[in-house]
Amino acid sequence: TARIIDGKAVAERLRAGLATRIAGLHFRPGLRVVRVGEDPASGVYVRNKDRAALAAGFDSSTIHLPAEARESDLLMLVENLNIDPAVDGILVQLPLPPQIRPEMVIAAIDPAKDVDGFHTVNAGKLVTRQHGLVPCTPKGVMHLLREAGATLRGARAVVLGRSQIVGRPMAQLLLDADCTVTMVHSNTRDLAAECRRAEILVAAVGKPELVRGDWVGEGAIVIDVGINRNAAGKLVGDVAFAEALPRAAAITPVPGGVGPMTIACLLENTLEAALARRGHT
Ligand code: NAD
């Protein structure tokens, strides 16, 4: 039966390490989280980010715009944060109300302050192996794989899902860690067979328990990025956890796996951005 990878504990250690490093600085790295409107899930995320940032010693605050805010209002706010020397990291919480185009907002963020790593400049740096800001969720998955003691060099890694914010950067990071990477998606001919070959399986599709037990190879390390509600309203991942448990060597639970790592990596990115911007590299 699989070892359960405790993302909460790994994230706590990562945050404690960041707090120690920040305590030794002569400034507090600044994070501004921007929320527009009243999306309820965003409210929870934003509060958690703010709380974790303050606890680790960041100068963090949330700026909340009303649901009717215009795109130009948000662009002006981003511009002000771009030029504010106290601000090292800017995060605009998605989704945005329909009158605001997220791609316009992301493009407006100074790439040096883009702690989500979504700006085209940071995406380009990732694929050209330059030092930039890496999206938080795939970065968190790499931390978990290392903590789980996974041998990455030469390992067959399968990434399920090809989104801009998880699947694509995830595959890139695994490739840079010398895995043999396969990306699978909704047009893949035999998803189950591809997944079964994986020594490292990362699921990021957003479909409750799509990955069944017999999709998991014996001894695989399974990282479940999905956060979904099933028909009964229960929070579940993209992997049928109970079915995967007897076959996998290690697996992340939902909740308590990848989720806490995403916030910890946001803070790690903010510290990295602060050190780079302020010439501490
Ligand atoms: P997305 O919807 O942008 O992308 C999903 C990807 O999965 C797409 O590439 C799509 O082609 C593929 N896909 C969809 N249905 C499929 C199917 N039936 N078979 C094969 N491939 C299929 O989603 P996302 O933003 O990448 O997020 C994925 C999941 O991860 C969601 O559940 C989301 O809530 C979760 N998530 C969690 C965190 C975290 O902090 N843990 C962060 C981001 C996203």
Q: Is 163 annotated as a binding residue?
A: yes
Distance 57 CA to ligand 1 centre (A): 32
Distance 76 CA to ligand 1 centre (A): 31
Residue nearest to atom 40 of ligand 1 (CA): 259
The predicted complex's ipTM stands at 0.96
Question: HSE of 86 in the Cβ direction (CA atoms, 13 Å)?
Answer: 7
- pLDDT the model gives residue 200: 98
Distance 161 CA to ligand 1 centre (A): 6
How many angstroms separate the CA atoms of 202 and 171, rounded?
9
Structure tokens at 8: 């909460």
Q: Is 124 annotated as a binding residue?
A: no
Distance 226 CA to ligand 1 centre (A): 6
160 in Cβ contact with 238 (< 8 Å): yes
Residue nearest to atom 4 of ligand 1 (CA): 163
> Over the range 89-123, which residues count as b (16 or more CB within 10 Å of their CB) and which as e?
bbbbbeebbeebeeeebbbbbbbbbbbbbbbebbb
**Mean pLDDT per 10-residue section of the chain, whose length is 281 residues:** 98 98 98 96 92 98 98 98 98 97 98 98 98 98 97 98 98 98 98 98 98 98 96 96 98 97 98 95 61
Contacts of 37 (CB under 8 A, 6+ apart): 65, 66, 67, 69, 96, 97
Phi, psi (deg, nearest 5) at residue 127: -75, -20
Arch. (CATH architecture) of 26-111:
3-Layer(aba) Sandwich (3.40)
Intervals of CATH 3.40.50.720 along the chain:
136-259
Query: Residue 188 CA: which ligand 1 atom is closest?
Result: 20
- pLDDT the model gives residue 281: 61
In eight-state DSSP terms, residue 239 is B
Q: Is 130 a catalytic residue?
A: no
First-residue to last-residue Cα distance in the chain: 43
203 in Cβ contact with 211 (< 8 Å): yes
Residue in 59, 88, 114, 116 annotated catalytic: 116
Q: Strand (E) positions, the chain?
A: 3-4, 30-36, 59-65, 89-92, 156-160, 180-184, 200-203, 221-224, 228-229, 235-236, 250-251
Arch. (CATH architecture) of 136-259:
3-Layer(aba) Sandwich (3.40)
70 in Cβ contact with 36 (< 8 Å): no
Q: Is 162 annotated as a binding residue?
A: yes
Intervals of CATH 3.40.50.10860 along the chain:
26-111
Q: Cα–chain-centroid distance for residue 39?
A: 19
- pLDDT the model gives residue 280: 83
Contacts of 24 (CB under 8 A, 6+ apart): none
Beta strand pairing call for 228-229 and 200-203: unpaired
Q: Is 207 a catalytic residue?
A: no
Cβ of residue 137 lying under 6 Å from some atom of ligand 1: yes
Distances (CA, A) of 22 to 6, 59, 179, 270, 278: 25, 11, 33, 11, 14
Q: Is 93 a catalytic residue?
A: yes
